[in-house]
Structure 1
Amino acid sequence: MLVLLPPSEGKADGLRGRPLAWGSLALPELDEARARVVDELVELCAGDPVKAREVLGLSEGQSAEVARNAALRTAPTAPAGAVYTGVLYDALGLATLSPAAKRRAGKALLVFSGLWGVLRINDRIPAYRCSGGVRLPGIGPLAGHWKGPLGEALPEVAGSGPVLDLRSAAYAALWRPSGELAARTLTVRVLQERLVGGVPKRSVVSHFNKATKGRLVRDLLEAGPLPRRADRVADALRELGYRVEADDAAPGRLDVVVSEV
């Protein structure tokens, strides 16, 4: 089973590891495409910080993010799972997983990134700011840049098991499963159900969508071997106590219904 995650806009501070070592990241066949984005981003941020903020969608108060990008080649690193912060990663709690669950996470989790394409959680990276929806001056939209390299690399990574796609729209655009692989790819929508005037009403949650997905992945990793077939994923989540419904109008989508967020 492969689990596709978004990154987080927030990154940890105070990293102390050695600088990025090219060739050390998972899927080294992506290194050429990675280097193009790194070179473009460093040049932009080191040369014109004002334009860099505009391109990256940052405010003047986020100028430190531009300086951070300018120093990417020499910046300290840490495992990606420790660099990414935010709601989903807080709920996932990679650092507190059991040893067996950590081993499963290292094999099953794949984090999408506008800068790196995809990463394993143990890949050592510096902190950076470059979302998947960015359009760099010399490259264009990052979704277009990554479409080809990821399209070649990821079907083999996915193997023959199910794919649980928990990415947000900006990162889903970097690569979309197709053909037989699409048929065993599942997405998750989190719905909150509340009683309004005695009548159950459902709404799509936003902020807490990430927390639910993080807890869901954590519980799967801790439960034991991950499902090997797409038709077992919903059952595995139900066994963990989640209320899961298939949506006949959207094949491949699972609705996780929560009453508290």
Structure 2
Amino acid sequence: MLILLPPSEGKTAAVDSRTVELTELSFPELSEPRKQVLEALRQASLHPEALKHLGVGPSLAAEVARNTRLLEEAAAPAHQVYSGVLYDALGYQAMTQAQRARADEAVLIISGLWGVVRFGDRIPAYRLSMSVSLPGLGRLASFWRPLLSKAMDERASNELVVDCRSSNYTAAWAPPAENTVEVNVFQERNGKRTVVSHFAKHTRGELAGLLLRRRGSAPQTPRELLKVAQRYFNAELTPGTAKKPHSLNLILAAGVSFAKAKSAN
């Protein structure tokens, strides 16, 4: 089983003295394109219109300034750097050693800067979305798509892929549709279902954490994934096609809140 996650928007800066070593990151064949993105991001972050180009507000000026010196910045394992709703709900820090080992192997984080990293990869905090277009590279999703396909298609062809990414990050790589399940989150109000971005990250993080903590073998098929999800959520499965992934739909009740969701586990 592979679990695909987006990076968090907010990131926790490392305090270690070690810096990132590109050749030590997972998928070292991506080292050269990572260097390209790092340099293009540095140049964009030095530009007088850097905040506008990167799609962020004045409150994030310090994070954009950090982009200009990422190779000198302190680095920490990705599970420490990526923070926020999804990663809090996943609960890596509270896992046992065996559960963390499973997470380190199963989770792939699709990133606008690194292409793809695992939880154990040491990276600095940075500010860059996959939706950004960088000078000389263009839109990052288009830049990474052929590179990620070459690096990961074969690896993903033999696994159930649980895709918990948001739309900006699904554009960067499409795993084999026949064994991929996209996770969608809806809220039901007065008999109508609506997309709930407010809760989607939290719920996807919860599902990922449950899959990584559960005992026994990981689900191998979309139907097996559905059975696991139905133990914790109101869940449905929409079968895919040769070109379209399966969809696991998690339906939240109208009165759901983060507090209620956390207490349920």
Q: With the length of structure 1 as denominator, give the TM-score of the two structures.
A: 0.91
Paired position in structure 2 for 1:63: 61
Asked if residue 221 in structure 1 is aligned to residue 216 in structure 2, the reply is: no
Residue of structure 2 aligned with 1:130, choices 128, 131, 138: 128
2:173 maps to 175
Write the distance in 2 (CA, Å) between the matches of 1:154 and 1:248.
Answer: 23
Where 1:23 maps in the other structure, the secondary structure is helix
- The aligned amino acid for 1:242 is F
Q: Is the 8 A contact 2:141 2:172 kept in 1?
A: yes
**One-letter code of the match for 1:228?**
Q
The C-alpha deviation readout for 1:68-104, integer Å capped at 9, x for no partner, is: 1011010001111110111101111111112221111
Please give the secondary structure, in 2, of the residue aligned with 1:257: strand
Match for residue 49 of structure 2 among 48, 51, 68: 51
Gaps of 5+ in 2: 258-265
What CA distance in whole angstroms lies between the structure 2 residues aligned with 1:42 and 1:35?
A: 10
Q: Which secondary structure state, in structure 2, belongs to the residue aligned with residue 246 of structure 1?
A: strand
Q: d(CA) in 2 for partners of 1:183 and 1:63?
A: 43
TM-score (norm 2): 0.90
Q: Distance in 1 between matches of 2:108 and 2:130?
A: 15
Q: Does 1:237 align with 2:237?
A: no
Q: Tell me what 1:6 maps to.
A: 6
Show structure 1 runs of 5+ residues with no match.
Answer: none
Contact 1:161 1:230 in 2 (8 A): no
Letter in 1 for 2:221: R
2:121 alignment partner AA = D
- Cα deviation for residue 107 of structure 1 reads 0.7
Distance 1:121 1:53 in 2: 28
Aligned amino acid, residue 189 of structure 1: N
In the superposition, relative to structure 1, how do residues 36 and 251 fare at CA in structure 2: closer, same or farther (>3 Å)? closer
> CA distance change for structure 1 residues 59 and 251 in 2, over 3 Å: closer, same or farther?
closer
Q: Which amino acid in structure 2 is aligned with residue 229 of structure 1?
A: T
- Asked if structure 1 preserves the Cα contact closer than 8 Å seen for 2:238 and 2:247, the reply is yes
Instruction: Give the SS at the match of 2:162.
Output: strand
- State the number of aligned residues: 251
Partner SS state of residue 4, structure 2: strand
Q: After superposition, give the CA deviation of every residue in 1:126-163 in whole Å (9 maximum; x if it has no partner).
A: 00001000100121111111011101011122241210
RMSD (Å), alpha carbons: 1.6
Write out the 4+ residue segments of structure 1 that deviate beyond 6 Å after TM superposition.
none
Give 1:51-200 correspondences, 5 Å limit. 51-177=49-175, 181-194=176-189, 196=190, 200=191
Residue in 1 that maps onto 2:42: 42
